[in-house]
Amino acid sequence: MIPERLEKAEWLARPDVQAIFAALDGAEGRTRAVGGIVRDSLIGRLRNDSDIDMATELLPVTVMQKAKAAGISAYPTGIDHGTVTLRLGETQVEVTTLRRDVATDGRHAEVAFGTDWTEDARRRDFTLNALYCFADGRLFDPLGGAGDLVNGRVRFIGDATRRIAEDGLRVYRFFRISASHGEQRFDPEGLAACRDAAGRLDHISRERVGHEMLRMLSLPRIALTLATMQAIGLLPVSGERLEALHRYEGIGGQDVAARMALISVSPQDLQAQWRLSRALVDRVARIAKAAALAGADKLNWAAYRYGEEAVEGLAVAASEDNWPRDRLMEAARELARLPVQPLPVSGQDLIALGMVAGPDIGRALARLEKRWVESDFTLDPETLLATEAASRQ
């Protein structure tokens, strides 16, 4: 059964949210919450960091005037498209005036403001995102989105091809939301429209695509979704890598960087495709290198060189090479047993033995490091130094 109102929605009961509603004529229904915050509240899947979005009949300048009169901070963050950001206490809300598209080039839309709630709903992407609620929690569902939501159907509003032509990023959103809210089932009409558009999306900025892909890769299960994207020519990933990703999910893996290590030939390729942060690319590279060592049965080196990333590296190696479960469990126990510590001797210790500072010190430290790691970190400093002294006699 689909409820008629939101019950026990924490964000809706906040005094700051209700104050914003009150300032913007929410009691008269002129301002309503919309989109993901309503959608996920309705099915009890709200994240702690979910954005609060509102739609309003009020013009942007009126929103700012009314907000400031009520002591609410207002910022014209997207005023050309009717969006004003309001902040009261710890609560931030994006308020956008009802709109209709006048023209679009697939990236940017020219809009006109209006007061027709159903027309505003029709310009959105998917029916399950065209859900509104009043200040008192009553739902407004002009396009039957609640029914699609509870049935796990991600359906474009109106003609799917037209929705994609308005904003090509909706292709990626279709797959992400089908993974998060559709149990990786794909509406046939929407999938066909995405297939037709797959070769015409070069105009979308890499940053926007990367943002969608990162959100997708953070979901619990996405292997089937990525395989479907690959099948329509949207994602250049080999079938072998997708099978490894499926196995990774089968052992409970959900790490974003590990998933990237599985599907990419190199982290640099992903960085070029999606404009990822340097920190994330570096972590992907560390996991991939740890996986290579784990796959070569060098868990001690993986742990020594890559620390915590060795755990995900082990999962990646097991998924790539399709390890039997017993082998993975034994390797995981071995990795957990390793007392990884820094090399307990230094160049100063070698100088104290009579060595002269210079390249020989570096080569000696490399030899000692190899002995230290391959002893599984058990040799004490005295033994290490004694083996080096004996090798030099």
Mean pLDDT for each consecutive 10-residue tract of the chain (393 residues)? 84 96 97 96 87 96 97 92 95 94 60 90 96 97 95 96 95 98 97 96 93 95 97 94 97 96 82 87 95 96 94 98 96 91 89 86 91 91 87 70
User: Do 27 and 116 lie in a common domain?
Assistant: yes
User: Do 95 and 7 lie in a common domain?
Assistant: yes
Single-letter code of the amino acid located at 218:
S
Please tell me what DSSP assigns to residue 5: B
Helix 170-181, helix 188-197: angle, nearest 10: 150
User: Do 258 and 228 lie in a common domain?
Assistant: no
Please tell me what DSSP assigns to residue 28: G
Tokens of 194: 């995405």
CATH number, domain at 207?
Answer: 1.10.3090.10
Boundary residue ending a domain (151, 179, 208): 151
Give dist(CA 260, CA 269) in Å, integer.
Answer: 10
Residues 6+ apart with CB under 8 A from 83: 60, 77, 94, 95, 96, 97
User: Do 327 and 275 lie in a common domain?
Assistant: yes
Q: In what order do the strands lie in the sheet with 139-140?
A: 73-78, 83-88, 91-97, 52-56, 31-34, 132-133, 139-140
Boundary residue ending a domain (151, 172, 202): 151
User: Do 139 and 160 lie in a common domain?
Assistant: no
User: Do 48 and 185 lie in a common domain?
Assistant: no
Boundary residue ending a domain (91, 122, 151): 151
Digit-coded pLDDT (tens) for 24-67? 999 999 999 999 999 999 999 888 778 999 999 999 999 999 99
Q: Which residues pair with 101 in a beta bridge?
A: 111
For residue 356, what are the domain limits? Answer: 347-391
CATH number, domain at 101?
Answer: 3.30.460.10
User: Do 157 and 207 lie in a common domain?
Assistant: yes
Instruction: Provide the domain count of the chain.
Output: 4
261-265 contacts, C-beta under 8 A, 24 or more apart? 261/287, 261/288, 261/291, 261/312, 261/313, 261/316, 262/316, 262/319, 262/320, 263/226, 263/237
pTM (predicted TM-score): 0.88
Give the DSSP per-residue string, 197-232. HGGG-TTS-HHHHHHHHHHHHTSS--HHHHHHHHHT
